[in-house]
Amino acid sequence: MTAVTPDTSLDAIRREIDSIDDQILGLLLQRFAATERVKATKAHDGSIASSPFRPARETAMMQRLISAAGTSLDPQIVVRLWRVILSASIQSQAPVTLHMDSVLGHDFAIRLLVSQHFCGMTVDLHQTPARALAALGKAQGDLALVAPSSDWAAGFSAGEAGRAQVIVTLPVLAAGGQPQLLIFGHAAPQPSGDDETLVLIPDDKAKVPDALWQARSGAVTLAGLPGFHDDAINSISPGARIAGRYPRPIKVSP
């Protein structure tokens, strides 16, 4: 039996890779065709007017894909690949601008995190977090990104963001603790099965025993509570209010 030369074997593998790439492209075309049908349906029922984002569905999708990949594929790779697809899908439904303050905008690590999650979306920088929220209040389909401990809570409490609330946090994969970014939007909150509720307490020294994390924004305490809570949170502290309900970061076993 004649041995196959290395070059011929390599050529065969490359042909197989080309064939796989062609199949991936075909599936992507099918997926974006389905996205167009989603866009048409949302345009008909009016749901696209508020926001093209569906954080609970995106989280469920990522959890399913990461689980299906098992140990054969790094969860970070799964998230990055599908974030490109999801971002393109969202932008095909409606243009989206990301509003953030200039301090965040000039933080290289933050901009890298944002670019990996919101691939290709336009970024608009503002002087302060409050102004970023105010810009979001005038543009329902957009998002505002703020650092938890930045000075945003007073402006939010004053209604600068309109009806927008925190709809998701970054990073997507995390071991717990305080998130790096809070993402504000107008998407209607929906439980994902593993959620967190962000509560603002008008006391910068407040202690919430059951909080997953706490931080301060000016004279306000932020507390991330486990679960998808309703508005009945006055038992936590007088004047406490909900600033968002969103899926918790996906936990991946080492």
254 or 114: which carries more pLDDT confidence? Answer: 114
pLDDT score, position 232: 62
Would the pLDDT of 37 be above 80?
Answer: yes
Residue 225 main-chain phi, psi, to 5 deg: -100, 140
241-252 confidence digits (pLDDT tens): 999 999 999 987
82-109 confidence digits (pLDDT tens): 999 999 999 988 889 999 999 999 999 9
Which of 93, 102, 97 has the alpha carbon at shortest distance from 138? 97
* Mean pLDDT taken over the chain: 90
104-154 confidence digits (pLDDT tens): 999 999 999 999 999 989 999 999 999 999 999 999 899 999 999 999 999
Would the pLDDT of 165 be above 90?
Answer: yes
pLDDT score, position 254: 60
pLDDT score, position 48: 58
pLDDT score, position 234: 67
188-245 confidence digits (pLDDT tens): 999 999 999 999 999 888 888 889 999 999 999 999 999 998 866 767 788 889 999 9
Mean pLDDT along residues 6-20: 85
Distance CA 41, CA 34 (A): 11
Structure tokens at 185: 């939007």
First to last CA, the chain: 45
